[in-house]
């Protein structure tokens, strides 16, 4: 049964690592819904959050194939773990003075905020799950969305442990 | 700046200031390299210039870089050590690509060293610049771009370690010209290599081993499917012990041939698309399959949905990414075949299986008209005859390198390999042109060639007329190196395997498969080796013996039946026991009987 699965992948921060990971997904025809990469608090280690729609058996092989990459330090499929997930969106809404109060009203109701006010537009910053962002975008759509960007999901389990990044237990 | 030249064969002490090019050879010598296969060009010239100062490494000048990659591959398959090839940037590097992919699909440990344009020019589409780490990313186990001389020793150590450990594979080391030219103090370490993300060793859990044992104990009709992992792990002795204890018949994959002695009474032979009928049937009837170091390739399983449906499957495999990829298994023992068997075999008691073995004998009897020795010789020359005679005249001990096509399958069927690392063939990629260069590499792995009768260090190439022409230029390499191998061209005037598919599945339309070839005898002579021609079965023995006795390489042009086909055959995607059998033909002495 296919479901949305979330992988957290720690990699060495080296040239070409993103290329290797992306190439693996492309070559094996695993579809990526979203991929986010960024630094961690540890020098030389980057963290990716990869979301894809797949069944459990393929998910196991994705994990095993990621481990075949020499620069991949650790892979966690956190789909079944309690976790925090966030997606940051910037949405530029067409909002002249007449409708602006209405837009700001909506933002405060859903906990989003305006980070830039122009004469005819508002840049909205919102965080949430992908679905929450989609819902917000749907509500703002009637005003006219000029531009929109999302970071892709970043995720973290709630458990009070730090991922073991040395020669760890593999898949 | 310039370090003093070492005396012949001497290495520099660590700490000496050397150029990157010198550091490369210093490093290669230290990881145990004694032969490299290569071809020079601008971006690798500093390395070639420095090479002259390291006579302990022999350089084989190839005629095409594809040849260099297959030679390194053949050297590695024959020796179990890492093979090394060298090429320049751009076209030199891209010419290696087919050989790299060949090694990747068959898990061959290989390090390919390529020159790269100077670091400052990278990304500028400089002359002969190709992003070879990008190109080879999906066909290497790992690759490196080296921009500084001081990184060379570490990268060489890591490259060899990655290539050889765990599930082996090719590693590309791309070194910029300025990294070769720059100098620094040469530092070398013999400390264990730590790559935090790399985990080549795995071991199964105790409960998985128990579950495997339980399944094996419950088996009435067990079969072992032995793959290349048995050979890589050197697990033949343990496999023999297991088989002896449990009466389990052994079927092999193409790359697994030789991992279990073919003349053992419980050896079934090769399974799969061109496996013998009884092997495939036995697999379909089995109730437990112990798959050892193999990956359920589609050439082995036929339709994976109907593959061995009655069987519980135990998969012993080093790479967890192979588990459940094609065929869902009941127990996966992730680990080295040798380590796993060493844990499993002592826990197993003795069991005899007269009923199951009798059933297999019965299936064998049905189609055992394959003893071609007993068949009438009515003057025609069949590839199977040639290969059978080669097996006899080499006493089954030669190292045989096959190319890709019908002759490759006939070799697998008729040359009974009793020892590991004695059949080298491109199984995964099916690369035509592999055989001749791979045999040259194998020659360097086995040492000086024998002259005289059958010898375990004889190297025989069995190649089609088509594939031979893809890399025949390497005959000149043979002549220049003064080495000896034997080449048997199975010349049927066709791209035979494709012709066979056209006969069976494309209405007999022979499009682009009839092939005119040069006079191979003259071609051999033009390259400075010997050529012979054989057109009748009666001439085979004398020709083979003459080749064995000859001090030089002999190319024998065997003019075989043109439109013979390999049987049995499981058409692509069909069930494993849905086999096309050899039609009974009056003029054809190798037909099979039996209603099946
Ligand atoms: C490089 C390459 N190109 C094409 C093929 C497809 N192919 C597989 S077998 C074959 C025919 C081989 O002919 P030949 O070398 O004469 O051997 P035969 O089958 O006649 O024994 C071809 C073209 C291949 N395997 N490799
Ligand atoms: Mg042919």
SS3 B443: helix
d(C-alpha B180, C-alpha B559), whole Å: 50
How far apart (Å, rounded) are the C-alpha atoms in residues B407 and B387?
9
Query: Does residue A137 share a domain with residue A116?
Result: yes
Cα of B129 vs centre of ligand 2, distance in Å, is 37
pLDDT of res. B366: 62
B434 is catalytic: no
Q: Looking at B269-350, list the stretches that DSSP marks H as alpha helix, in order from N- to C-terminal side.
A: 277-285, 298-301, 337-344
Of A61, A71, A165, the CB nearest to B325: A61
pLDDT at B444 over 50: yes
The pLDDT of residue B585: 54
Q: How confident is the model at residue B5 (pLDDT cuts 50, 70, 90)?
A: very low
Mutate to test the pocket of ligand 1, among B430, B495, B496 (most ligand atoms within 8 A of CB): B495
Backbone angles phi, psi at B530, to 5 degrees: -90, 150
Q: Which of A20, A46, A81 is the last residue of a domain?
A: A81
Count CA within 13 A, CB hemisphere, residue B291. 30
- Identify which of A23, A61, A68 has the shortest CB distance to residue B137: A23
Domain presence at residue A76: yes
Q: What is the pLDDT of residue B64?
A: 98
HSE at residue B302, side-chain half, CA atoms within 13 A, is 25
CB atoms within 10 A of CB A34: 17
Q: Using the structure block, give the residue that is written with the tokens 């679905």.
A: A131
Is B569 assigned a catalytic role? no
Per annotation, catalytic residue among B22, B65, B411, B474: B65
Q: Closest Cα partner for B230 from B129, B143, B125, B107?
A: B107
Q: Which of B401, B435, B497, B500 to mutate to test the pocket of ligand 1 (most atoms within 8 A of CB)?
A: B497
Query: A74 and A8 in one domain?
Result: yes
| Nearest CB to A70; choose among B197, B324, B325 | B197
Average pLDDT, chain B: 94
Q: Which residues fall inside 5 Å of ion ligand 2, going by CB?
A: B 464-466, 492, 494, 496
Give the residue numbers spanning the domain of A12: 3-81
Task: Tell me what pLDDT residue B4 has.
Answer: 47
3-state secondary structure of B44: helix
Any domain includes A164: no
Helices (H) and strands (E) in chain A, counts: 4, 9
What are the helix and strand counts (H, E) for chain B?
23, 22
Cα–Cα distance between B446 and B237 in angstroms, integer? 22
* Cβ neighbours for A98, distance < 8 A, ≥ 6 positions apart: none
Tell me if A122 is assigned to some domain. Answer: yes
Residue partners of B264: CB distance under 8 A and separation at least 6: B240, B243, B250
pLDDT tens digits for range B505-554: 999 999 999 999 999 999 999 999 999 999 999 999 999 999 999 999 99
Task: Please check whether residues A128 and A67 belong to one and the same domain.
Answer: no
- For B429, list phi and psi in degrees, rounded to 5: -90, -25
Residue B556 pairs in a beta bridge with: B488, B532
Instruction: Give the 3-state secondary structure of residue B226.
Output: strand
State pLDDT tens for residues B214-236.
Answer: 999 999 999 999 999 999 999 99
Q: How far is B194 from chain A (nearest CA, A)?
A: 9
CA–CA gap between residue B118 and residue B135 (Å, rounded): 18
What pLDDT shows up at residue B372?
57
Cα B463 to ligand 2 centre (Å): 8
Same domain, A111 and A137: yes
Q: Which residues line ligand 1 (CB under 6 A)?
A: B 403-407, 430-433, 464-467, 490, 492, 494-498
* Angle of the B540-549 helix axis to the B383-393 helix axis, nearest 10: 40
DSSP B98-167: HHHHHHHHTT--EEEEEEE--GGGTTTT-TT---HHHHTGGGSSEEEEE-SGGGHHHHHHHHHHHHHSSS
What was the pLDDT predicted at A1?
A: 86
Write down how long chain A is: 171
Query: Ligand 1: distance of its center to the CA of B432 in Å?
Result: 6
CA distance B122 to chain A (A): 14
Judged by its nearest atom, the ligand closest to the C-alpha of residue B492 is: 2
Q: How far apart are CA B57 and CA B49, in angstroms?
A: 13
Whether residues A77 and A114 fall in one domain: no
Pair (A77, A10) in one structural domain: yes
The answer to whether A162 contacts chain B (CB < 8 Å) is no
CATH of the domain at A25: 3.30.70.260
Mean per-residue pLDDT for B154-158? 98
Q: Are residues A94 and A74 in the same domain?
A: no
What's the confidence (pLDDT) of residue A161?
A: 84
Ligand sitting nearest the alpha carbon of B491: 2
Residue B454 has pLDDT above 60, yes or no: yes
Residues A48 and A63 in one domain: yes
Question: Could you say which residues of chain A have pLDDT below 50?
Answer: 167-171
The alpha-carbon gap from A48 to the nearest alpha carbon of chain B, in Å, equals 15
Bigger pLDDT: B245 or B377? B245
Do B566 and B406 form a contact (C-beta atoms < 8 A)?
yes
* Structure confidence at residue B473 (pLDDT): 98
- The predicted pLDDT at position B347 comes to 96
- Count the neighbouring beta carbons within 10 Å of the beta carbon of residue B536: 12
Catalytic residue status for B228: no
Whole-number Å distance between alpha carbons of B523 and B473: 10
d(CA B397, CA B389): 13
Of A166-170, B8-12, B245-249, B270-274, the range with the lowest mean pLDDT is: A166-170
User: Which residue out of B64, B466, B500, B518 has the highest number of ligand 1 atoms within 8 Å of its CB and is therefore the one to mutate?
Assistant: B466
Residue A73 domain flag: yes
A81, A110, A125 — which closes off a domain? A81
- What pLDDT was estimated at residue A166? 58
Reported as a pLDDT band with limits 50, 70 and 90, residue B453 is confident
Residue A143 DSSP one-character state: G
Instruction: Identify the band that residue B368 occupies on the pLDDT scale cut at 50, 70 and 90.
Output: low
Which ligand ends up closest to the CA of B405? 1
The pLDDT of residue A131: 87
Give every CB contact of residue B219 below 8 A, 6+ residues apart in sequence: B248, B287, B288, B312
Residue A27 touches partner B, C-beta closer than 8 Å: yes
CB pairs under 8 A between A and B: 53
pLDDT digits (tens, 9 = 90+) for B47-76: 999 999 999 999 999 999 999 999 999 999
Beta carbons of B517 and B551 less than 8 angstroms apart: no
The Cα–Cα gap between B428 and B291 comes to: 17
Q: Do A110 and A51 share a structural domain? A: no
- Concerning whether B127 is annotated as a catalytic residue, the answer is yes
Residues A97 and A148 in one domain: yes
Whole-number Å distance between alpha carbons of B97 and B106? 14
Query: Which structural domains are found in chain B, ordered by start?
Result: 17-185 (3.40.50.970), 206-363 (3.40.50.1220), 383-563 (3.40.50.970)
- The percent of residues above 70 in pLDDT, for chain B, comes to 94
Give the length of chain B: 596
Question: pLDDT value at position B194?
Answer: 87
Query: Which helix (H) or strand (E) element contains residue B393?
Result: helix B383-393
For an interface test with B, which of A15, A30, A70 has the most B Cβ atoms less than 10 Å from its Cβ? A70
Quickly tell me which residue has 């921009």 as its tokens: B147
Q: Is B505 a catalytic residue?
A: no
Query: Looking at the domain assignment, is residue A168 inside a domain?
Result: no
Q: Classify residue A47: in a domain, yes or no.
A: yes
Name the phi and psi angles at B418, rounded to 5: -95, -10
- What pTM was estimated for this model as a whole? 0.95
Find the CB nearest A27 among B133, B138, B319: B138
Tell me: pLDDT of B1 over 50.
no
Domain end residue (candidates: A81, A100, A125): A81
Query: Is residue B452 over pLDDT 90?
Result: no
> B271 near B286, Cβ under 8 Å?
no
Domain membership flag for residue A165 = no
CATH number, domain of A115, equals 3.30.70.1150
For B196, which of A19, A23, A166 is closest by C-beta distance? A166
Closest residue in B to A171 (Cα) is: B320
Helix ranges (H only) for B449-508 are: 465-471, 474-481, 496-505
DSSP state of A109: H
CA B491 to centroid of ligand 2, rounded, Å: 5
Answer yes or no: do A14 and A71 share one domain: yes
**What is the number of structural domains in chain A?**
2
Residue of B nearest to A61 (CA): B321
Q: Are residues A104 and A39 in the same domain?
A: no
Q: Is A134 a domain residue?
A: yes
Q: How many CB atoms lie within 10 A of CB B228?
A: 27
| DSSP conformation class of B305 | G
Q: Indicate if the pLDDT at residue B15 is higher than 50.
A: yes
For ligand 1, the distance from its centroid to the CA atom of residue B62, given in whole angstroms, is: 23
Instruction: Provide the sign of the torsion angle of the four alpha carbons B197, B203, B208, B212, taken in this order.
Output: positive
Question: Helices B65-79 and B474-481, interaxial angle, to 10°?
Answer: 60
Cβ neighbours of B161 in A, within 8 Å: none
């Amino acid at each position: 049964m296919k479901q949305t699965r979330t992988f957290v992948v720690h990699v060495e921060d080296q040239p070409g690592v993103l290329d290797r990971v992306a190439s693996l997904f492309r070559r094996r025809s695993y579809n990526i819904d979203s991929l986010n990469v960024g630094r961690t608090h540890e020098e030389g280690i980057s963290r990716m959050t990869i979301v894809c729609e797949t069944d459990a058996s393929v998910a196991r092989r994705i994990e095993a194939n990621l481990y075949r990459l020499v620069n991949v330090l650790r892979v966690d499929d956190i789909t079944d773990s309690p976790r925090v997930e966030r997606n940051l969106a910037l949405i530029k809404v067409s909002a002249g003075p007449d409708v602006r109060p209405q837009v700001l009203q909506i933002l405060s109701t859903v906990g989003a905020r305006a980070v830039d006010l122009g004469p005819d537009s508002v840049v909205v910053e919102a965080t949430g799950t992908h679905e929450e962002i989609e819902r917000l975008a749907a509500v703002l759509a009637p005003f006219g969305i000029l531009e929109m960007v999302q970071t892709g999901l970043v995720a973290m389990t709630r458990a009070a442990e730090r991922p073991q990044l040395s020669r760890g237990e593999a898949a | 700046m310039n370090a003093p030249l070492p005396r012949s064969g001497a290495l520099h002490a660590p700490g000496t200031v050397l150029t990157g090019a010198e550091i490369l050879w210093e490093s290669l010598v230290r990881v145990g390299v004694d032969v490299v296969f290569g071809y020079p060009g601008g971006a690798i010239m500093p390395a070639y210039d420095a090479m002259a100062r390291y006579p302990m490494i022999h350089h084989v000048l190839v005629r095409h870089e594809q040849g260099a990659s297959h030679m390194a591959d053949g050297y590695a398959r024959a020796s179990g050590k890492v093979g090394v090839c060298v090429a320049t940037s751009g076209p030199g590097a891209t010419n290696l690509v087919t050989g790299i992919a060949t090694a990747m699909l068959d898990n061959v440990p290989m390090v390919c060293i390529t020159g790269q344009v100077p670091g400052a020019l990278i990304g500028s589409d400089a002359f002969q610049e190709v992003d070879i780490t990008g190109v080879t990313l999906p066909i290497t186990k790992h690759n490196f771009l080296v921009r500084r001389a001081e990184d060379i020793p570490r990268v060489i150590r890591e490259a060899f370690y990655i290539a050889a450990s765990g599930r082996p594979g090719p590693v590309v080391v791309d070194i910029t010209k300025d990294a070769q030219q720059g100098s620094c103090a040469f530092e070398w370490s013999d400390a264990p290599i730590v790559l935090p993300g790399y985990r080549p060793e795995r071991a199964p859990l105790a409960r998985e081993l128990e579950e495997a044992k339980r399944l094996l104990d419950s088996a009435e009709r067990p079969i072992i499917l032995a793959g290349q992992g048995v050979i890589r792990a050197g697990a033949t002795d343990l496999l023999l012990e297991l088989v002896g204890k449990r009466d389990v018949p052994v079927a092999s994959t193409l790359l697994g041939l030789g991992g279990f002695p073919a003349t053992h009474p419980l050896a079934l032979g090769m399974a799969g698309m061109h496996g013998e009928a009884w092997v495939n049937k036995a697999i379909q009837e089995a109730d437990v399959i112990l798959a050892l170091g193999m990956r359920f390739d589609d050439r082995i399983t036929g339709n994976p949905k109907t593959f061995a449906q009655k069987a519980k499957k135990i998969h012993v495999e080093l790479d967890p990414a192979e588990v459940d990829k094609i065929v869902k298994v009941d127990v996966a023992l992730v680990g080295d075949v040798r380590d796993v068997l060493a844990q499993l075999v002592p826990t197993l008691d003795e069991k005899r299986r007269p009923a199951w073995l009798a059933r297999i004998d019965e299936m064998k009897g049905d189609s055992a008209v394959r003893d071609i020795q007993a068949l009438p010789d009515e003057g025609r020359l069949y590839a199977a005859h040639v290969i059978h005679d080669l097996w006899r005249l080499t006493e089954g001990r030669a190292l045989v390198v096959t190319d890709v096509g019908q002759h490759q399958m006939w070799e697998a069927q008729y040359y009974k390999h009793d020892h590991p690392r004695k059949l080298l063939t491109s199984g995964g990629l099916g690369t035509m042109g592999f055989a001749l260069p791979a045999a040259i590499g194998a020659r360097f792995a086995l040492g000086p060639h024998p002259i005289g009768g059958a010898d375990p260090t004889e190297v025989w190439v069995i190649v089609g007329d088509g594939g031979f022409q893809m890399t025949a230029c390497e005959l000149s390499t043979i002549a220049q190196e003064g080495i000896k191998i034997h080449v048997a061209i199975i010349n049927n005037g066709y791209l035979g395997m494709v012709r066979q598919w056209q006969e069976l599945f494309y209405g007999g339309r022979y499009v682009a498969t009839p092939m005119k070839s040069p006079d191979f005898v003259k071609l051999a002579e033009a390259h400075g080796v010997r050529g012979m021609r054989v057109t009748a079965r009666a001439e085979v023995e004398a020709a083979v013996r003459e080749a064995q006795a000859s001090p030089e390489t002999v190319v024998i042009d065997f003019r075989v039946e043109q439109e013979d086909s390999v049987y049995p055959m499981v058409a692509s995607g069909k069930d494993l026991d849905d086999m096309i059998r050899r039609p009974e033909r009056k003029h054809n002495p190798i037909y099979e009987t039996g209603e099946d």
